[in-house]
Amino acid sequence: MKHRNPDKCVACSTCVVQCPVAEVTSKFLGPRMTGPASERFRLLNAGEDESLSYCANCKNCNISCPQGVDVANINMLARTRYSREHRPSFRDWILAHGELEADLVRFFPSSLVNFGMVNPLTKFVLDAIGISKKADLPTFARDQFPALFKSYRQPTLHKKVVFFPGCYIKAYAPETGIDLVWLLNRAGYNVIYPENFCCCGTPLYTNGFEKDARKNAAVNLLELKKWREEGIPVLSLCPSCQLMFRSEIPIYFPELAEELDGKTALDDAQEFILSCIEKGELPLAGAEQNKLDVMYHAPCHLRAQGIGMPGLELLKKLPGVHAVNADAGCCGISGSYGFKKEKYDIGMAVGSQLFRTIKDSGIEQVATDCGTCRVQIMHGTGHPVAHPLNILRRRLDTTRR
Ligand code: SF4
Ligand code: SF4
């Protein structure tokens, strides 16, 4: 049980020690001060401190607090109240509305769009509006997930699952969604992708666009309810989408969550694949046996859910694969936080321990479940970073060898 009552805080400072942002910058007052301590003043309408915007919403304070104080959401809710009265910047609008931008760029060749994003002039303009020119932004896929899924031929199968891709897989990493479809088909499941599903709302809410996030939550929950009533599991691959559905929607939009009796959580696709392996539906016999060393990074939003590390478990089950947990903290990106000009250096400093661990390990292959963690780790290390399911498919699919 998590509390947002500031009086539950006993000022032990455990969260301060675990906060990756407070560790690297004095611009942030830290979780205890910005969270429960400031909340008492907020209750007296004492105004807001600029330091609040430096909270990365990574949830490490929540994971560590022995009193179960929901520091991260004390901060998020305070930011939302602030943004109701102070319009977010154009930069934050751009970073929040990636799905809308992806819908628009579909009509242009992706090579042109991506060249447009990386050329020095665009970088200069982005920097001028507050997106760091030093950051590597994710690039749009040539064909986005809806188009790839439409043209993908699934065999006739009777067992069914629904897939919620989220905006990252939809626009930037559709091949990971297709790898999941391939694996589920092989395990005997037909995959349904309802096009009504939209971005989970995390980038919208964290950047101050509460109304847009509520709209998305309403659409997504209506669709989720429909499949719940049909008794078909709805799977997700993105830790931040899962966290939004499981824990944030019931806090941010309780009236919407009530429609589902508060049971808004999606199923974790990798846990589902693990259960297929355990039930013998997805045999690993015949998987490529060549030795592969993988270092796995657990995204903060996965750890915050308390569901273990299904991606790491999957990798450990693969014949020939030796997977280890990097266990080196946050990568520093926190969605779009590390792309922001005033936060880029903080994000890189936060991720430096992880980058060093990866570089010092000498390991070639890195894996993580989160799309933006992947971008940040590649940016910070130069190492290739895959989703665990990319590796699973590569080793099972003989046409990929
Ligand atoms: S860890 Fe929890 S109880 Fe301790 S200072 Fe932080 S919020 Fe308060
Ligand atoms: S959410 Fe992360 S950055 Fe924000 S206070 Fe908690 S630990 Fe620090």
Measured from the alpha carbon of residue 9, the closest ligand is: 1
Residues with CB under 6 A from ligand 1: 9-15, 31-32, 35-36, 65, 67, 69, 71
In a domain, 11, yes or no: yes
- Residue 21 CA, closest ligand 2 atom number: 3
Segment 182-200 shows an average pLDDT of: 97
- What is the pTM assigned to this prediction? 0.94
Ligand 2 pocket mutation pick from 13, 17, 71, 340 by most atoms within 8 angstroms of CB: 71
Residue bearing the CA closest to ligand 1, atom 3 = 9
The dihedral built from the CA positions of residue 148, 150, 156 and 162, taken in this order, carries a sign that is positive
Residue 233 lies in a domain: no
Residue 178 contacts by C-beta under 8 Å, 6 or more apart in sequence? 145, 148, 149, 152
Q: Residue 46: its pLDDT value, please? A: 67
The answer to the question of residue 249 being in a domain is no
**217 within some domain:** no
Q: Rounded to the nearest 10 degrees, how much is the dihedral formed by the CA atoms of 259, 263, 266, 272?
A: -140
pLDDT for the residue 288: 86
The type of residue at 249 is I
* Chain mean pLDDT for the chain: 94
On whether residue 366 sits in a domain, the answer given is: yes
Ligand 1, atom 8: nearest CA belongs to which residue? 9
Task: Supply the pLDDT for residue 121.
Answer: 85
Confirm whether 204 is domain-assigned: no
Q: What is the whole-number distance in angstroms between the Cα of residue 29 and the centre of ligand 1?
A: 14
Ligand 2 center from residue 73 Cα (angstroms) = 10
Give CA–CA dist 246/257, Å, rounded: 10
**Which ligand sits closest to the CA of 347?**
2
Percent of the chain scored above 90 by pLDDT?
83
From 40, 64, 85, the end of a domain falls on: 85
pLDDT tens for each residue of 15-74:
999 999 999 999 999 999 999 999 888 877 767 778 999 999 999 999 999 999 999 999
Domain boundary among 85, 106, 130: 85
Residue with the smallest CA separation from ligand 1 atom 6 is 15
Q: In degrees rounded to 5, what are phi and psi of residue 198? A: -125, -175
Q: How confident is the model at residue 152 (pLDDT cuts 50, 70, 90)?
A: very high
pLDDT at position 66 is 96
Report whether pLDDT(189) > 70.
Answer: yes
Task: Please indicate, yes or no, if residue 235 is contained in any of the structural domains.
Answer: no
- Give ligand 2 pocket residues (Cβ under 6 A): 19, 21-22, 31, 55-61, 71-72, 75
pLDDT in tens, 256-304: 999 998 899 999 999 999 999 999 999 998 888 899 999 999 999 999 9
- The total domain count for the chain is 2
The tens digit of pLDDT for each residue in 318-335 reads: 999 999 999 999 999 999
Q: Is residue 219 part of a domain?
A: no
Mean pLDDT of 219-225: 97
Give the model confidence (pLDDT) of 94-127 as tens digits: 999 999 998 888 877 777 777 767 788 888 999 9
Q: What is the number of the ligand closest to the CA of 60? A: 2
Strand-pairing partners, residue 340, are: 131
**Residue 1 confidence (pLDDT):** 59
CATH number at residue 362: 3.40.50
Distance, in Å, from the CA atom of 387 to the CA atom of 166, rounded to the nearest integer, reads 15
Round to whole Å and give the CA distance between 311 and 295: 11
Residue 361 has pLDDT above 90, yes or no: yes
Q: Which residues have CB under 8 Å from 68's CB, separation 6+?
A: 1, 2, 3, 8
Position 374 confidence tier, pLDDT thresholds 50, 70, 90: very high
3-state secondary structure the chain: CCECCHHHCCCCCHHHHHCHHHHHCCCCCCHHHHHHHHHHHHCCCCCCCHHHHHCCCCCHHHHHCCCCECHHHHHHHHHHHHHHHCCCCHHHHHHHCHHHHHHHHCCCCHHHHHHHHHCHHHHHHHHHHCECCCCCCCCCCCCCHHHHHHHCCCCCCCEEEEEECHHHHHHCCHHHHHHHHHHHHHCCEEEECCCCCCCCCHHHHHCCCHHHHHHHHHHHHHHHHHHHHHCCCEEECCHHHHHHHHHHHHHHCHHHHHHHCCCCCCEEHHHHHHHHHHCCCCCCCCCCCCCEEEEEECCHHHHCCCCCCHHHHHHHHCCCEEEEECCCCCCCCCCCHHHECCCHHHHHHHHHHHHHHHHHHCCCEEEECCHHHHHHHHHHHCCCEECHHHHHHHHHCHHHC
Find the ligand nearest to 64 CA: 1
Choose one of 33, 64, 85: the last residue of a domain.
85
Residue nearest to atom 1 of ligand 2 (CA): 57
Residue closest by Cα to atom 5 of ligand 2:
31
Handedness of CA 133, 134, 137, 142 (dihedral sign): positive
> Cα(229)–Cα(250) distance, rounded to whole angstroms?
19
Q: 396 lies in which domain range?
A: 286-400
Nearest to 379 by CA among 337, 341, 333: 333
End-to-end CA distance of the chain: 47
